[in-house]
Amino acid sequence: MASSTQQPGTGAVLTDPVRYPAGASPAVRTKRAFVLVLLTLLVPGSAQLVAGDRKLGRIALRTTLCVWALLVLAVVLLMLDRTLVINVFTNPVTSLVLVILLTALAVGWALLFVNTLRIIRPVLLAPPARPAVGIALVLALVLGSGSLGYAAYLLNVGRNAIGSIFSSGPAIEPVDGRYNFLMMGGDAGDDRTGRRPDSLSVLSVDAKTGQTAIISIPRNFQNAQFSANSPMRAIYPDGYDCGDECLINAINTEVTNEHANLYPGVADPGAQATLEAVSGTLGMDIQAYVLVDMDGFSKLIDAMGGIRIKAGGWVPISGETIDEANGIHGMPLGWIPAGDNTLDGYHALWYGRSREFVDDYARIARQQCVQQAMLKQLDPATLLSKFEDIANAGTKVVESNISSTQLGSFVDLAIKAKGKEVKRLTIGPPDFDPAFSTNPDFDQIHDRVDQLLASASGAQATGASDDTINAPAAGAGHVQAAGPAGLSRAMTGGLPQESTAPSDFTPVTTTPDGEPITEQMLDDFKRQGNEQAIRNLVATNGQCAAL
């Protein structure tokens, strides 16, 4: 029968193997060691409470219970007010507090593991058991304290990225129940001042439901109207109408070079002026812009692990420009084939950028498809596993005047929008005649935009699915290019009558005679100077679906 001898003044039974392992058998000591490691991992502080410094154990256990209570509160708030929780993580002040708290908890937890090792007293363990216990303790430390430390690191990476990309200005309010953002994609080259936006799209999001509409404007749109409050309206009261050089994508450079003084205190006058031109042209208030550098865009897609799309036709990776006026290039550097593709950053950039052998409207459609593929494939698992690379790439790619304090609201809207159909309108084919971009009817544009937004706000509104793009064939006009869907849009004010699924188009992989289209065939036509033959074979390359 075991002795009941107690340590004087403590009331502790000396033969208690948990607190006094010296008299226990080797098997019991080994079991005790693994249990203490497990207790420190699952309930930090409990090992100290039962086998070590009880004062330290009580402090650690109270801290553990407080953290658990905060986690439960966060889960409840996430169900009741998701925006508030997201704002806590994206706000620069509260996120810094979280980084400090997570770091402190990680360090404290690591110290508890060190203390647990002292309590275990490895010298009392049988020699074969020591390595196993040591490995178990290290693994538990990495899983527990290491995970908290890594979470603090990732949160700090995200915090720095948010600070680099977004502004510290005031929050914006919805207009007529919608947030309207101008999305610009452009190149910043050594021969350019600022970025020339070759891609312009307005993203209009319902402030409550996240229902989204996208309005695309061709880069060669002429006579753009500046909004009533724009400083540029005094210079161009009748619109940006100084001739063929006054395309909408030239506003950024002109304002940056010649009229920056009209925008005192504005970080990017060219981007702001472009926003005002798009706002006036469409007859809608656009509250903020996001500018994506296309050369850095490929880094972001590489960080995501690539994107998956179904291409309707072959797309060239264009060589050196020979004739800028007529859009003639040298031999292509390669081709992106029709059909299912997984594109890395370089090929995704060219897929959205290339306009050789087709018109700008096919390129617009492909750019929309690339954007949708990124949104569709940026799921939580991808974001968490590649978070650091994505965040670091984002700081090189994106610039915006959206306030960082409001980012949580927009992330929440993006979550709501995921899976909902997206309404679209292009100020050109397939929704308008090809000549419309040169001589636009602004009353007609405003009517179409109003119809689109009214449709996007309706609970039962119909429209194109969010992962399929139909674009015009080169030189074919909007009816032939988009088929029945394009004709329907043209006849109904730019609003599609029914959604189209990804399977509704078949990639063109053969010639009319049934011969497979190959890179060699296309290159041979190019060498022969038979560019029309290439145009005929790649005319459907504006069709695209995100996979």
Q: Does position 223 have pLDDT exceeding 80, yes or no?
A: yes
CB 539 within 8 A of CB 522: no
Confidence (pLDDT) at 422: 77
Residue position matching structure tokens 């979550």? 415
For the chain, count helices (H), then strands (E): 19, 14
pLDDT, averaged across the chain: 79
- Per-residue confidence band for 395, with pLDDT thresholds at 50, 70 and 90: low
Mapped onto helix, strand or coil, the DSSP state of residue 147 is helix
Residues 49 and 122: their CA atoms lie apart, in Å, by: 19
Confidence (pLDDT) at 15: 63
Is 300 part of a structural domain of the chain?
Answer: no
Residues 468 and 368: their CA atoms lie apart, in Å, by: 9
Dihedral sign, CA of 463, 467, 468, 472?
A: positive
Between the alpha carbon of residue 53 and those of residues 83, 104, 116, the distances in Å are: 42, 20, 10
Query: Which two tokens mark 178?
Result: 């919608």
Confidence (pLDDT) at 475: 35
CB 368 within 8 A of CB 214: yes
Confidence (pLDDT) at 226: 92
Q: Give residues with Cβ within 8 angstroms of 370, minimum separation 6.
A: 307, 309, 348, 351, 352
Q: Does position 388 have pLDDT exceeding 80, yes or no?
A: no
Query: Which two tokens mark 43?
Result: 């309930």
Residue position matching structure tokens 């990495």? 142
| pLDDT tens digits, 444-503 | 999 999 888 888 776 434 434 444 444 443 333 322 233 323 323 322 333 333 333 344
Residues 222 and 200: their CA atoms lie apart, in Å, by: 13
Query: Which two tokens mark 130?
Result: 């020591």
| pLDDT tens digits, 259-310 | 999 999 888 898 899 999 999 999 999 988 887 776 667 778 888 888 898 9
Q: Does position 253 have pLDDT exceeding 60, yes or no?
A: yes
Q: Read off the pTM.
A: 0.63
Is 31 part of a structural domain of the chain?
Answer: yes
Is 524 part of a structural domain of the chain?
Answer: no
Confidence (pLDDT) at 297: 75
Confidence (pLDDT) at 484: 29
3-state secondary structure 445-476: HHHHHHHHHHHHHCCCCCCCCCCEECCCECCC
Mapped onto helix, strand or coil, the DSSP state of residue 290 is strand
| pLDDT tens digits, 407-458 | 777 777 777 776 677 788 888 777 887 778 888 889 999 999 988 888 877 6
Do the strands 196-206 and 178-187 form a parallel or antiparallel pair, or are they unpaired? antiparallel
Query: Which two tokens mark 215?
Result: 């309005």
Domain residues for the domain of 118 are 21-165
CB 338 within 8 A of CB 312: yes
Q: Where does residue 93 rank: exposed (0-12), middle (13-18), buried (19+ CB within 10 A)?
A: exposed
Q: Taking Cα atoms as reference points, which of 494, 526, 492, 533 lies closest to residue 512?
A: 533
Query: Which two tokens mark 540?
Result: 């459907």
Is 144 part of a structural domain of the chain?
Answer: yes
CB under 8 Å, gap of 24 or more: what pairs does 509-512 form?
509/337, 509/338, 509/339, 511/537
Is 152 part of a structural domain of the chain?
Answer: yes
Is 100 part of a structural domain of the chain?
Answer: yes
- Per-residue confidence band for 373, with pLDDT thresholds at 50, 70 and 90: confident
| pLDDT tens digits, 104-143 | 999 999 999 999 999 999 988 899 999 999 999 999 999 9
Is 60 part of a structural domain of the chain?
Answer: yes
Q: Give the number of domains in the chain.
A: 1
Asked which of 9-13, 29-33, 111-115, 514-518 is least confident by mean pLDDT, the reply is 9-13
Residues 287 and 279: their CA atoms lie apart, in Å, by: 9
Cα R_g (the chain), whole angstroms:
31
Q: Does position 315 have pLDDT exceeding 80, yes or no?
A: yes
| pLDDT tens digits, 133-173 | 999 999 999 999 999 999 998 888 888 777 767 766 667 78
CB 37 within 8 A of CB 144: no
Q: Give residues with Cβ within 8 angstroms of 143, minimum separation 6.
A: 41
Query: Higher confidence at residue 437 or residue 406?
Result: 437
Is 275 part of a structural domain of the chain?
Answer: no
